[in-house]
Amino acid sequence: MEGERRIAVIAIGGNSLIADPKRPDVAHQWDTVRTTARHIADLIAQGWDVVVTHGNGPQVGFILRRNELASHEVHVTPLDLIVADTQGSIGYMLQQTLDNEFRRRGMHKTAITLVTQVRVDPNDPAFQRPTKPIGGFLTEEEARRFAAQGWPVMEDAGRGWRRVVASPQPLEIIEEAAIRDAVRQGWVVIAVGGGGIPVVENEKGELRGVPAVIDKDRASSLLARRIDADLFLIATAVEKVALNYGKPNQVWLDRMTVSQARQYMAEGHFAPGSMKPKIEACIAFVEATGRAAIITHPAHITRAVQGETGTYIVPDETA
């Protein structure tokens, strides 16, 4: 029976927890998380064992802003602790809403959240070239103000300006064995929140946090490969991936091979701060496992897994 279990890693974006950017308060985040939990529970009800990973960009931004406003009275919080904080808070929201959904449906399932550390290379060149957007979107005027304070800023995929930090490559998920064992025992596991807390190993072999943010999709892809998941699904703001996104000649994609995905990236179809890291994460999973990856909207998770929608990234030989 154990061999028949199917494991899916579902990566949901931090922005997908905020349905309306004009109403990012916690009450509205709860509403969105409850909706997302229903879609995940639909898949679990079909017999899938699931690991849920999540982004935390907007939430990290809120904490950074609180730090700035309160810095004259209390100490500021280091970035690695902010990632840990958001793993706990977002994990709690997902854990509670999933458990409520399981009880409502009479499903004998329980969700757990694992605070997850991810090892990175202290010499990763990303530390010299910060590119990972964090926090909310800024006007150009606000961005210039942050830049004057020493924050690197960049324009993010035509959507506005954002602060950026180093985004080193994930090398090892420290709690990998615990995540693998828990999901194989039937727990619904929430892990690798915000891409994981970035840590490095010092000369004594001890782990220490570093001021960086790991890309959630890259870390989720690494986790999916390491626990031998049957499916890697990225839930994001669109139902399908598009070529020429937002332009008059936009084309939605139902399916693309790894080679096609690489070609489209080379042609500049996928924005670096938006869809490109998702495509790269999917390619890494597909190449390592020979299994398909899917990108779709949270509302279409079940339909996408059934092959009715979403964009499938598949090995070249299955074209």
pLDDT exceeds 60 at position 22: yes
CA dihedral 26, 30, 36, 38 (to 10 degrees): 180
Q: Does 9 share its domain with 158?
A: no
pLDDT value of residue 1? 35
Given 120, 147, 165, the domain boundary residue is: 165
Extract the tokens encoding 159. Answer: 């959507």
pLDDT tens profile 198-210? 999 999 999 999 9
Confidence of residue 221 (pLDDT cuts 50, 70, 90): very high
pLDDT tens profile 44-79? 999 999 999 999 988 888 898 888 788 889 988 999
Given 149, 165, 181, the domain boundary residue is: 165
Q: Does 54 share its domain with 148?
A: no
Q: CATH number, domain at 83? A: 3.40.1160.10
253 neighbors 311 (Cβ within 8 angstroms) = yes
Q: Does 152 share its domain with 129?
A: no
pLDDT exceeds 60 at position 319: no
pLDDT tens profile 76-134? 899 999 999 999 999 999 999 999 999 999 999 999 999 999 999 999 999 998 887 77
Q: Does 22 share its domain with 153?
A: no
Number of structural domains in the chain: 2
Q: Does 189 share its domain with 305?
A: yes
Q: Does 59 share its domain with 109?
A: yes
Among residues 172, 167, 194, 166, the alpha carbon closest in space to that of 81 is found at: 194
pLDDT exceeds 50 at position 2: no
* Candidate from 40-44, 151-155, 167-171 with smallest mean pLDDT: 151-155
pLDDT tens profile 230-286? 999 999 989 999 999 989 999 999 999 999 999 999 999 998 878 999 999 999 999
Give the mean pLDDT of the chain: 92
Q: Does 151 share its domain with 279?
A: no
Active site residues: 14-15, 132, 216, 278
pLDDT value of residue 119? 98
Identify the domain containing residue 206 by its residue range: 2-136+168-318
Mean pLDDT computed over 7-28 = 83
The dihedral built from the CA positions of residue 260, 262, 265 and 266, taken in this order, carries a sign that is negative
pLDDT value of residue 24? 81
Of 13-22, 136-145, 282-291, which has the strongest mean pLDDT? 282-291
Cα angle for residues 156, 161, 163 (degrees, 5° grid): 95
* Pairwise pLDDT comparison (186 vs 24), residue with the higher score: 186
Q: Is residue 282 helix, strand or coil?
A: helix
- Transcribe 189-237 into DSSP letters: EE-SGGG-EEEEE-TTS-EEE-S----HHHHHHHHHHHTT-SEEEEE-S
Q: Does 147 share its domain with 208?
A: no
